[in-house]
Chain A
Amino acid sequence: MATEVHAAEGATGYIIHHLTPLHAGEGFWTLHLDTLFFSAILGGLFIWFFKMAAEKATSGVPGLVQNFAEMLIEFVDNQVKDSFHGHSKLIAPLALTIFCWVFLFNFMDLFPVDILPLIGSMMGIEYLRVVPSTDLNATFAMSISVFCLIIFYSIKIKGPWGFAKELMFQPFGPWLLPFNLLLKLVEEIAKPISLALRLFGNLYAGELIFILIALLPWYIQPILSFPWAIFHILIITLQAFIFMVLTIVYLSMAHEDH
């Protein structure tokens, strides 16, 4: 959609260039190669770090890597314990993965907006969008996966009939069945959409502001980009945290039998 506008030079062209992903394929079968590449690299980084910690894990005095990994593990475990009262082997690792992956996605936002695309263009890559969470596909991939887990656990814990009853008879009792159903369906579907759009919106807006700051003269840029980057450190962590906590909360709601 952006290719035809790309001819436009100046500020608009710069912005659009920055927001156009490196893509291949046509229509639905388009692949955003940069999103796939960076998210895989970041996922690999996450796995590599934690695998290193896990291999050296001892119950004795922990090393630096293990200490950091354990800090995150305990942090996630506390969050899970706070809102989820059942027993599940999946939820805590899922939450940890989400938190770290989303955080790393968002962290890419703190690289100077031009540096990676510049390196890319030197290697002959025309478009490069380095922050995977500014791609709706990346955020929806996670939220839809979480949504599938919500449905799966709802049916598994409450049984198909129990889940259907919950959809039909709550919150207003059997006499308002269609209304209940509509309300519940909207509620359920709103979960993945809000998860994905919240993260996407925050990061897309943040990235856009970095791009806009980059358009200003060089002597003004640091005055604006420095505070924004500092503020962004808070935002990227907060967004990762929100995504994780909401996932835990949604899954614990799926586990609760009324």
Chain B
Amino acid sequence: MSNKVLMKGNEAIAEAAIKSGCLYFFGYPITPQTEISEYMAKRMPKVGGLCLQAESEVAAINMLMGASAAGSRAMTSSSSPGISLKSEGISYIAGCDLPCLIVNVQRGGPGLGGIQPSQSDYYQATRGVGHGDLRILVLAPSSVQEMASLTAEAFDLADEYRMPAMLLADGALGQMMEPVDFSVFPKRELAPKTWATNGLKNHEGKKNIINSLFIDPNELENSVIERYKRYDIVEEKEVRYEEYLTDDADIVLVAFGITARICKSAVTELRNQGIKAGLLRPVTLWPYPKKIISKLADHAKAFISVEMSMGQMVDDVRLAVNGKRPVYFFGRTGGIIPSVEEVICETTKISETL
């Protein structure tokens, strides 16, 4: 018998979180991710958990900080404008070395923008998610199955490296329905949270302090350097990506999330037309799969970053290619999803110049 159930992407995130032992959800309604809150509100009381609707995104992220500081596996979710509000809290959580999951089901921006799918928070997620020297893990699902499996993975990664993880989805993935199998998630061996502030009687030794303040600049510099050593390990060990027909590709499309699925269809059709196209799909946006892109640049003649934005990830492709090959960009923004035909047309035009 199949273990698969048909679910919306947003619901798959929520169910996967609960199945991963997350019993605390702090949210605030915003389209197109509200189903996560609604699903949590229904399910959490039945599994002994809590779904709490906060008065704001700011409050929700700080409730999450408190839950995580006390040692609980917990999460919040929002969509683009709400993530901007959470930015302060994410910086504090990173500065306090706390693990948690933040879901961003992206919509178009800037400002109130729109409610249709977008990938225009790439910079925010990978560059400017909060003030200060910090990184967060960023995972980009491209199917409802991955909405679930990467949610599970993100919790474990966050716990292992004591840092926030973000699931960077979009409105299309959040709203679409696909079969999901929840029985296939690997689990990591995780160390007990001896650092948690849950009362002296619950941990050994002296009191625990969760804090991001260091008045002495030398102390602050040292704490940041220590954290960056952990980031180095993440960059070494936790990069994820998928390759499709890249071995002999002349032209490599680079795309993540829903856009990667469009590009996969385009690559298949381009091959039928005799154009040697391939696809590299980053699954982790931080750490970014720069080594494989650099390696592909040894044989591929050109790269195209395809995005639902005005071109943000293209910067990371350029950094990885490092001038070895030309890097092009194609994208639609404002909530418009690029079509397979558009991607084929752009790729064909570029391939003719090679």
Q: Do the two shown chains form a genuine complex with each other?
A: no
Which residues of B come within 8 Å of A, CB atoms? none
